[in-house]
Amino acid sequence: SDVDSREGYIYWITNINIERARLDGSEREVLIDSIIEGLSLAIDEQRMYWIEKKLQNGAYQLSIESANFSGKYRKTLYIISRQYMHAYSLAVSKDFIYWQNINQVGIMQLPKNLSQSEPRKLFTLSNSDCWACHRLVVKYTTNELILGVKSDDGLQHQNGSNSKSVSICQNYCLQGDCNVTAEGKPICSCKAGYSGERCEINACHKHCLNDGVCSLNEENQPVCQCTAGYDGKRCDISICKDFCLQGNCSVSIEAKPKCRCKDGYSGERCEMNVCNNYCSNKGVCSLNEEDEPVCESTSESCN
């Protein structure tokens, strides 16, 4: 997984797609739907890079793809030739794309501007090193990390005679406004419906159960609109629970509980046994083939 701390998203792959969500787990979405072998974020470009596996004419083809952080403006940068197949564990720097290759047993490098037509093997790994290396990581300098960040009051980074300034509030509050305390620490004023030190907690996140829809009331508290068949502040109560005493419950068109009683029972909640007090003089009650009560005499007559 990779994190875009500027916008407050975490990105990850599941082998069959690329997904992202907010840091509190909300707003989860699928960005790319395909077989993915590796993913890397280029924060300075606001683009993501990945290795994609496609079935073409009965054989798999690997390619290096790129898109913005929303999965749009997608580009195919390089079709990986068969000699470099079995590629995975991709990483990017400012100018280059890197990946690990199994059958070449090494780390491959390709310029982003595609100034060379084929990748270059940087070095060879032993088989044991190769299988132990599950992910490539490109380390940036401080100057590269702050490149493109707007200047503001706060933390300063000196670079020779030039200086760049990065606010300690920059992207600190995920859903709110940031201020700097007298002690020089960032503090957040969260939007309605959010809380937490960085406003990372959505009040509606997992609040309503059973597909209930969450919204905020006038006091900015989460309230639920429940789907048919559920009730309670969090839609956590099934209206069918313990409703039918001797039968099966379902939800009617009017969103009311409705019972289908077992043989020998009736009533709105299947609470009535049709044999109850049906036979007089100690007669024994049972159901016939039509599920109607009938009496069997004992030593005394059955009225």
Question: What CATH number should be reported for the domain holding residue 19?
Answer: 2.120.10.30
Whole-angstrom distance, CA of residue 66 vs CA of residue 262: 61
**What is the residue range of 106's domain?**
2-124
9 and 114 assigned to the same domain: yes
Q: At a CB cut-off of 8 Å and minimum separation 6, what does 154 contact?
A: 165, 166, 167, 168, 169, 170, 180
116 and 16 together in one domain? yes
Please say whether the beta carbons of 9 and 22 come within 8 A: yes
Residue ending a domain, choose from 124, 157, 190: 124
- 88 in the same domain as 7: yes
Which pLDDT score, from 0 to 100, does residue 240 have? Answer: 93
Both 186 and 284 in one domain: the answer is no
Residues 79 and 18 in one domain: yes
Residue 60 located in a structural domain:
yes
Indicate the number of domains in the chain. Answer: 3
CA dist 220 and 222 (Å) reads 7
User: Of 69, 98, 124, which one is at a domain's C-terminal end?
Assistant: 124
Four-CA torsion 212, 218, 219, 220, nearest 10 degrees:
50
- Starting at the edge strand found earlier in the chain, the sheet holding 120-124 runs 87-92, 96-101, 106-111, 120-124
Instruction: State in Å, rounded, how far the first CA of the chain is from the last one.
Output: 79
pLDDT given for residue 165 in this prediction: 40
Read off the DSSP letter of residue 128: H
| Residue 43 domain flag | yes
Residues 190, 195, 199: CA angle, nearest 5 degrees: 60
Give pTM, 2 decimals: 0.45
* Residues 120 and 177 placed together within one structural domain of the fold: no
Looking up residue 184, the CATH number of its domain turns out to be 2.10.25.10
What does each of the 303 residues of the chain score in pLDDT, given as a tens digit? 788 877 888 999 887 789 999 988 888 899 998 888 888 888 878 899 988 888 777 777 888 899 999 899 899 988 887 666 667 778 888 888 888 876 556 788 888 888 777 888 877 766 544 444 455 665 554 444 444 433 333 333 333 333 334 467 877 888 889 998 888 888 999 988 888 888 888 888 889 998 889 888 988 899 999 998 999 999 999 999 999 999 999 999 888 999 999 988 989 999 999 898 888 888 899 888 888 889 988 765 544
pLDDT at 37: 80
Residue 23 lies in a domain: yes
Residue 185 within any structural domain of the chain: yes
Domain termination residue (choose one: 67, 93, 124): 124
Residues 27, 113 within the same domain = yes
Q: Is residue 77 part of a domain?
A: yes
In this structure, the answer to whether residues 118 and 178 fall within a common structural domain is: no
Answer yes or no: is 180 within a domain: yes
176 and 119 assigned to the same domain: no
Res 98: pLDDT: 87
Residue 161 domain-assigned? no
- Do 177 and 254 fall into the same domain? no
Asked if the structure places residue 236 within a domain, the reply is: no
**Same domain, residue pair 19 and 94:** yes
| CA distance to 91, 153, 197, per residue, from 143 (Å) | 19, 17, 28
At 235 the pLDDT is: 92
Let me know whether 195 and 288 are in one domain.
no
